[in-house]
């Protein structure tokens, strides 16, 4: 690579930020251009931020796990406050069959009983008799991690331009990397959006130390603890590209799950309700593709935080050699 | 048996929800050689055509589409959803679900009959999701339905045919009406059993979509409905309490 390969990365969601930082670390001169007013103005902001390669194997193909086992360490090296407390999979008493199913599809967990559940999460003591504990997993808060990544980009000599202001012509760059999600549809025609809805709660009566997945045959839901007594409850999966507000049905399902996990959530404040569209290819797996000088990274579906480090390496191999 | 004048290429109807990805869904539909695929229409997706990307994938499968009103709890919701489905999929077929109880998702048969009457009078070809109750079945036929879809067990429970007596009685009462076991089928053996009872089709979703390998399970169901169908046509033997030796004992030489 020549000393100063110049790269324009379009889109400052999780894929664009991780790619920009990775390219800058490999010696490229990176400009990151975002059409919104800040980093993470799309689906990345609404994500749970679970770094759960083994839990995801329940419904994702083995490649997702294979290419994401390093993600927790990648994030820990790049942003502060990444939590490595594992994750917990629970089911209400009448749905415990779902735990067996989840266990058959996944690995790297320990099956635990009520005593160990109480040790890990004292607030859940006496409420659940069976759980799967994925010790090697972790989580982060996307709303802290993404700004932290953009600072890192700048400290590496990169530039961040929001609102598309002052973006030099594409022809002035050696390479373009397009990480614009559904906005890239004109070029990537098989992309579709998968709607997800989430709620942010503030609850001082419940403390959790790790993400909890509550299994249910129809509506599996997770709750991720964040700083300042916040909890992210997500997320629906709807084959729809409607980006409008959350429906009452989805809200009831999400809130009900929180209540089932712990009745203390009944007193929680609802801080925010959000929706996002996950850019997805028909096999729900991401792709790095090339068209002349542009490299497209897209289709991360629900695995942006897990798979971005792996995808960014692919991009860096193409551009930096 | 004709479903509103149409002969299905297979007695296997496959639902399209809950697959790990659209690509796996497509592979499962091909492997199942499904005669019909069902699609549920969420109203918030339908209202603004926001489900278009997924619906195109469904249409491209080239299998007759039976839209459904899954998740509707009232007559009005079900009727509205049916109207949207007709517009989106350009078909007058509608699988009618009016849910009466959210724990078991069992049908509200009163609302079902009412919605079936309204939709039939508007020219819809209604496939009602019902219980195995004979009287409700009569009412549905009187309301204009020409197909019945009794449950085997609650939706997604995988418990198989819970009331074989009731399902057999339904078959005996309505020899000329296409009957489909909808809901509750968990294993290929359940599907084979429904066909062996003389049912014309089975509708399966969760059992395939939530299997560890949906494509392999789709094939298993295809083979099961083929076996069940053949068995029914072959006039199975009657079960009996006594052993019936296949070789007469009388006159057999006594050895040893």
CATH number of the domain bearing residue A44: 3.50.50.60
A105:B20 CB<8 A: no
Confidence band for A206, pLDDT divided at 50, 70 and 90: very high
- What residues contact residue B142 under an 8 Å CB cut-off, 6+ apart? none
Residues of A in contact with B23 (CB under 8 A): 282-284
Residues of B in contact with A105 (CB under 8 A): 212
Residues of B in contact with A243 (CB under 8 A): 50
Instruction: Give the one of A60, A195, A249 whose C-beta lies nearest to B20's C-beta.
Output: A60
B47:A242 CB<8 A: yes
* B217 in any annotated domain: no
Mean pLDDT of A256-282: 93
Mean pLDDT of A3-22: 94
pLDDT at B48 > cutoff 70: no
* B151 in any annotated domain: yes
**Which of B27, B29, B49, B54 has the highest number of chain A CBs within 10 A, making it the mutation to test binding with A?**
B54
Confidence band for A41, pLDDT divided at 50, 70 and 90: confident
Lowest-confidence pick of A108-117, A307-316, B103-112, B137-146: B103-112
SS3 A239: coil
Domain ranges, residue B101: 2-208
- CA A235/CA A250 separation, integer angstroms: 9
Q: Which residue of A has its CA nearest to B210?
A: A59
Residues of B in contact with A218 (CB under 8 A): 156
Domain co-membership, A153 together with A203:
no
Question: According to the annotation, is B212 in a ligand binding site?
Answer: no
Domain co-membership, A176 together with A208:
no
Question: According to the annotation, is B35 in a ligand binding site?
Answer: no
* A74 in any annotated domain: no
Q: Cβ distance A20 to A73 under 8 Å?
A: no
SS3 A140: coil
* A150 in any annotated domain: yes
A238:B57 CB<8 A: no
* Number of domains observed in the structure of chain B: 1
Instruction: Give the one of A105, A195, A249 whose C-beta lies nearest to B212's C-beta.
Output: A105
* B236 in any annotated domain: no
Residues of B in contact with A247 (CB under 8 A): 44
- What residues contact residue A285 under an 8 Å CB cut-off, 6+ apart? A61, A63, A64, A299, A301, B21
- CA A304/CA A52 separation, integer angstroms: 12
The residue among B35, B30, B157, B17 whose CA lies nearest residue B93 is: B35
Nearest CA distance, A186 vs chain B (angstrom): 14
B95 is catalytic: yes
Nearest CA distance, B20 vs chain A (angstrom): 6
Mean pLDDT of B43-57: 70
* B138 in any annotated domain: yes
From the list B76, B95, B159, B210, the catalytic residue is: B95
* A16 in any annotated domain: yes
The pLDDT of residue A249 is 85
* A123 in any annotated domain: yes
**Which of B22, B61, B99 has the highest number of chain A CBs within 10 A, making it the mutation to test binding with A?**
B22
* Number of domains observed in the structure of chain A: 2
**Which of B29, B42, B48, B81 has the highest number of chain A CBs within 10 A, making it the mutation to test binding with A?**
B42
Q: Cβ distance B228 to B194 under 8 Å?
A: yes
- CA B35/CA B13 separation, integer angstroms: 6
The pLDDT of residue A2 is 53
Q: Cβ distance B116 to B126 under 8 Å?
A: yes
Residues of A in contact with B71 (CB under 8 A): 249
pLDDT of B53-86, one tens digit each? Answer: 888 888 888 999 999 998 888 999 999 999 988 9
Which letter does DSSP use for residue A174 in this model? S
Nearest CA distance, B1 vs chain A (angstrom): 33
- A235 prior amide bond cis, ω within 30: yes
Domain ranges, residue A209: 87-135+192-280
**HEC per residue, chain B:** CEECCEECCCCEEEECCCCCCHHHHHHHHHHHCCCEEEEECCHHHHHCCCCHHHHHHHHCCCCCEEEECCCCCCHHHHHHHHHHHHHHHCCCEEEECCEEECCCCEECHHHHHHHHHHHHHCCCEEEEEECCCHHHHHHHHHCCCCCEEEECCCCCCCCCCCCHHHHHHHHHHCCCCCEEEECCCCCHHHHHHHHHCCCCEEEECHHHHCCCCHHHHHHHHHHHHHHHHHHHHCCCCCCCCCCCCCCCCCCCCCCC
Instruction: Give the one of A60, A101, A241 whose C-beta lies nearest to B50's C-beta.
Output: A241
* B167 in any annotated domain: yes
Instruction: Give the mean pLDDT of chain B.
Output: 89
Q: Cβ distance A9 to A33 under 8 Å?
A: yes
Largest CA distance in chain B: 83
pLDDT of A42-74, one tens digit each? Answer: 899 999 999 999 999 998 999 999 999 999 999
The pLDDT of residue B24 is 94
- CB atoms near residue A230 (< 10 Å): 18
B206:A217 CB<8 A: yes
SS3 A277: strand
Using CA atoms, how far residue A124 sits from A44, A52, A228, in Å, is: 29, 21, 19
- Structure tokens belonging to residue B85: 């489905």
Domain co-membership, A272 together with A288:
no
The pLDDT of residue A1 is 46
- Residues across chain B: 256
- What residues contact residue A199 under an 8 Å CB cut-off, 6+ apart? A232, A233, A234, A246, A251, A254, A255, A270, A272, A273, A274
Domain co-membership, A215 together with A293:
no
Q: Cβ distance A110 to A133 under 8 Å?
A: yes
pLDDT at B45 > cutoff 70: no
- Structure tokens belonging to residue B112: 């079902």
B21:A249 CB<8 A: no
Q: Model's pTM, two decimal places?
A: 0.80
Residues of A in contact with B57 (CB under 8 A): 192, 282
pLDDT at B135 > cutoff 60: yes
- CA A116/CA A91 separation, integer angstroms: 15
* B229 in any annotated domain: no
The residue among A275, A272, A141 whose CA lies nearest residue A199 is: A272
- CB atoms near residue B201 (< 10 Å): 26
The helix or strand, by DSSP H or E, that contains position A194, with its residue range, turns out to be strand A192-202
Give me the total of CB pairs closer than 8 Å, taking one residue from chain A and one from chain B.
61
Domain co-membership, A177 together with A120:
no
B45:A240 CB<8 A: yes
Q: Which residue of A has its CA nearest to B20?
A: A59
Find the CATH number of the domain harbouring B89: 3.20.20.70
A282:B48 CB<8 A: no
Q: Which residues of A touch B (CB under 8 A)?
A: 59-61, 101, 104-105, 192-193, 195, 217-218, 238-244, 247, 249, 280, 282-285
Question: According to the annotation, is B205 in a ligand binding site?
Answer: yes
Q: Which residues pair with residue A138 across a beta bridge?
A: A51
Question: According to the annotation, is B183 in a ligand binding site?
Answer: yes
A60:B48 CB<8 A: no
pLDDT of A118-160, one tens digit each? Answer: 999 999 998 999 999 999 999 999 999 999 999 999 999 999 9
- What residues contact residue B11 under an 8 Å CB cut-off, 6+ apart? B35, B195, B199, B200, B201, B202, B225, B229
Domain co-membership, A173 together with A273:
no
* B125 in any annotated domain: yes
Domain co-membership, A199 together with A275:
yes
């Amino acid at each position: 690579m020549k000393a100063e390969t110049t790269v324009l990365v379009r889109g400052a969601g999780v894929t664009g930020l991780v790619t920009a930082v990775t390219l800058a670390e490999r010696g490229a001169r990176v400009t990151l251009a975002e059409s919104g007013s800040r980093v993470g103005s799309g689906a990345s902001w609404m994500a749970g931020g679970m770094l759960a390669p083994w839990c995801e194997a329940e419904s994702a193909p083995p490649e997702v796990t294979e290419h994401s086992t390093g993600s927790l360490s990648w994030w820990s090296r790049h942003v502060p406050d990444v939590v490595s407390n594992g994750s917990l999979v629970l089911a209400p008493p009448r749905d415990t069959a779902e735990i067996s199913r989840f266990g058959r599809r996944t690995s790297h967990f320990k099956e635990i009983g009520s005593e160990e559940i109480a040790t890990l999460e004292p607030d859940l003591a006496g409420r659940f008799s069976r759980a799967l504990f994925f010790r090697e997993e972790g989580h982060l808060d996307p709303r802290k991690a993404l700004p932290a990544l953009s600072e890192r980009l700048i400290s590496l000599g990169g530039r961040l331009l929001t609102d598309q202001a002052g973006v030099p012509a594409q022809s002035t760059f050696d390479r373009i990397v397009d990480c614009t999600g559904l906005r890239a549809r004109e070029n990537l025609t098989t992309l579709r959006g998968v709607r997800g809805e989430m709620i942010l709660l503030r609850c001082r009566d419940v403390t959790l130390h790790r993400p909890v997945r509550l299994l249910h045959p129809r509506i599996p839901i997770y709750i991720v603890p964040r700083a300042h007594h916040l909890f992210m409850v997500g997320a629906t999966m709807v084959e729809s590209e409607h980006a409008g507000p959350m429906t009452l049905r989805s809200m009831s399902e999400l809130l009900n799950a929180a209540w089932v996990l712990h009745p203390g959530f009944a007193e929680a404040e609802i801080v925010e309700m959000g929706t996002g569209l996950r850019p997805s290819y028909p096999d729900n797996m991401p792709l790095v593709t090339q068209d002349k000088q542009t490299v497209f990274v897209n289709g991360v579906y629900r695995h942006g935080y897990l798979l971005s480090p792996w995808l960014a390496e692919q991009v860096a191999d193409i551009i930096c050699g | 048996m004709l479903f509103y004048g149409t002969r299905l290429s297979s007695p296997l109807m496959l639902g399209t929800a809950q697959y790990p990805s659209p690509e796996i869904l497509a592979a499962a539909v091909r492997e199942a050689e499904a005669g019909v695929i069902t699609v549920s229409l969420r109203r918030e997706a339908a209202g603004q055509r926001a489900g278009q990307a997924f619906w195109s994938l469904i249409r491209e499968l080239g299998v007759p589409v039976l839209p459904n009103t899954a998740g509707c709890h009232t007559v009005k919701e079900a009727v509205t959803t049916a109207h949207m489905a007709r517009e989106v999929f350009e078909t007058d077929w509608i699988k009618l679900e009016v849910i009466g109880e959210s724990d078991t998702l069992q049908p509200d048969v009163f609302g079902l009959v009412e919605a079936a009457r309204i939709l039939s009078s508007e020219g819809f070809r209604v496939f009602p999701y019902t219980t195995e109750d004979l009287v409700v079945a009569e009412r549905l036929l009187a309301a204009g339905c020409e197909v019945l879809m009794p449950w085997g067990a609650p939706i997604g429970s995988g418990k198989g045919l819970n009331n074989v007596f009731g399902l057999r009685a339904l078959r005996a009462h309505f020899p000329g009406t296409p009957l489909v076991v909808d809901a509750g089928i968990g294993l290929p053996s359940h599907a084979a059993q429904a066909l062996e009872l003389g049912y014309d089709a089975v509708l399966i979703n969760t059992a395939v979509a939530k299997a560890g390998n949906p494509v392999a399970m789709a094939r298993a169901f295809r083979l099961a409905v083929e076996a069940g169908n053949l068995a029914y046509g072959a006039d199975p033997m009657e079960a009996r309490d006594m052993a019936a030796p296949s070789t007469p004992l009388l006159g057999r030489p006594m050895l040893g």
